[in-house]
Amino acid sequence: MVEGAQRPLRADARRNREKILTAAVRVFAAEGLDAHLERIAKEAGVGSATLYRNFPTREALVEAVYRHEVAQLCDAVPNLLATKPAFEALRAWTRLFLDYVTAKYGMIEALRAIAATGNNPYGHSREMIHAAVSTLMDACAAAGKIRTDISPTDFGAALEGIALTSASPERRQQAERLLDLTLDGLKTRP
């Protein structure tokens, strides 16, 4: 093995890591970022040692949760396109985007603190999300469902604007209305 390279995780270790990340999202959403890590371990059905072996600090766990959420959001695109017409896939993905932003909303201060230490919790998330939006918009354009004069960057900026003004859970209905308005503006007109 190359020095410094990490060995791939065994299947059971991957499952435990996944269970921890899933539980962390739920617990952080319910109790905030100050939730006890032991509570997350219990919710995941693993011991505290397993949690700390995977995530030695709270910051490492928060960063991993954020990266995991971005990956899940972007990984949803192929399945949505395979199971729904292109425009409905785009609409469904924007709802997943709202879920992602709402989850991140409660983590924003912790993510800023992590960034202040010199780590970049955002990594390639912006590029990943842009690629997901591009894939969805390309499929919609190929199906003749959306205008082609709006770029994924423009649509992404609209999504970010909606997220900035309506990311909190109590503003979800407003955010969905704004998304529908934006999606309606993308549609081709006869």
pLDDT tens per residue across span 139-152: 999 999 999 999 99
Could you read off the pLDDT of 33-77 as tens digits, one per residue? 788 999 999 999 999 999 999 999 888 898 888 888 889 999 999
pLDDT mean across residues, the chain: 86
Tell me if 114 is assigned to some domain: yes
Residue 1 domain flag: no
8 A C-beta contact, residue 106 and residue 129: no
Same domain, 34 and 83: no
The total domain count for the chain is 2
Global confidence as pTM: 0.80
Whether 20 and 86 map to the same domain: the answer is no
Domain that holds residue 71: 63-186
Q: Which amino acid is at 127?
A: E
Burial class (CB in 10 A: 0-12, 13-18, 19+), 82: exposed
Q: For residues 47 and 27, state if they share a domain.
A: yes
Q: Are residues 152 and 137 in the same domain?
A: yes
DSSP character at residue 188 = -
